[in-house]
């Protein structure tokens, strides 16, 4: 039971501290505040759904952020509008499956970053503790 509580607290903290994963290529600092806020709110909602037994995934807002940066990267290459061959009005079942896989990938990777940060902090704390430990001198008989 204690392990479940730890995971829940960790996931709750992660809502606010996990990174927002974006498409590589720079431009991550251009995410609008409204989108960052939407990510936090949707992560909270996903956390509540997980408590009711759903499998956690990334959120629609996180997908939007990822694709927002992809679009900015595309525009950086000198394109100013979406090419007709990739512009769509609705998505197919296969595309919905791909979208759900992207959400799962986003969730796994942001959770992995949180775990790695925690491990690094623990290693650093242990190193600091070791460095502060008194040294015993062998001055006995």
Report pLDDT digits (tens) over 25-64. 777 888 899 999 999 999 999 999 999 999 999 999 999 9
Long-range Cβ contact pairs of 105-111 (< 8 A, separation 24 or more): 105/58, 106/21, 106/57, 106/58, 106/62, 106/63, 106/66, 107/56, 107/57, 107/58, 109/21, 110/14, 110/18, 110/19, 110/20, 110/21, 110/58, 110/62, 111/14, 111/18
Interval 76-119: pLDDT, tens: 655 556 566 666 678 889 988 999 999 999 999 999 999 999 99
Q: Is residue 138 part of a domain?
A: no
Q: Is residue 35 part of a domain?
A: yes
Q: Is residue 104 part of a domain?
A: yes
pLDDT for residue 132: 82
Q: Is residue 19 part of a domain?
A: yes
Q: Is residue 140 part of a domain?
A: no
Q: Is residue 139 part of a domain?
A: no
Interval 7-29: pLDDT, tens: 888 889 999 999 999 888 777 88
pLDDT for residue 140: 61
pLDDT for residue 75: 65
Nearest to 66 by CA among 107, 94, 97: 107
Counting the structural domains of the chain, the total is: 1
Q: Is residue 106 part of a domain?
A: yes
Q: Is residue 21 part of a domain?
A: yes
In angstroms, the CA 38 to CA 122 distance is: 31
Nearest to 111 by CA among 38, 2, 15, 36: 15
Q: Domain containing 28: what range?
A: 2-82+91-132
Token pair belonging to 2? 């204690």
Alpha helix positions (H), 1-138: 2-17, 33-51, 60-76, 93-132
pTM, 2 dp: 0.69
pLDDT for residue 25: 75
In angstroms, the CA 75 to CA 99 distance is: 22
């Amino acid at each position: 039971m204690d392990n479940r509580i730890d995971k829940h607290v960790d996931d709750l903290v992660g809502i606010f501290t996990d990174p927002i994963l974006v498409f590589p290529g720079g431009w991550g600092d251009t995410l609008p505040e409204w989108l960052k806020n939407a990510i936090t709110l949707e992560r909270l909602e996903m956390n509540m759904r997980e408590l009711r037994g759903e499998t956690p995934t990334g959120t629609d807002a996180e997908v939007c952020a990822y694709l927002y940066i992809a679009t900015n990267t595309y525009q950086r290459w000198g394109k100013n509008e979406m090419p007709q061959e990739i512009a769509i009005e609705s998505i197919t079942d296969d595309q919905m499956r791909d979208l759900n896989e992207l959400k799962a990938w986003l969730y796994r990777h942001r959770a992995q970053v949180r775990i790695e940060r925690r491990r690094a902090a623990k290693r650093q704390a242990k190193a600091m503790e070791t460095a502060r430990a008194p040294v015993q001198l062998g001055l006995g008989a």
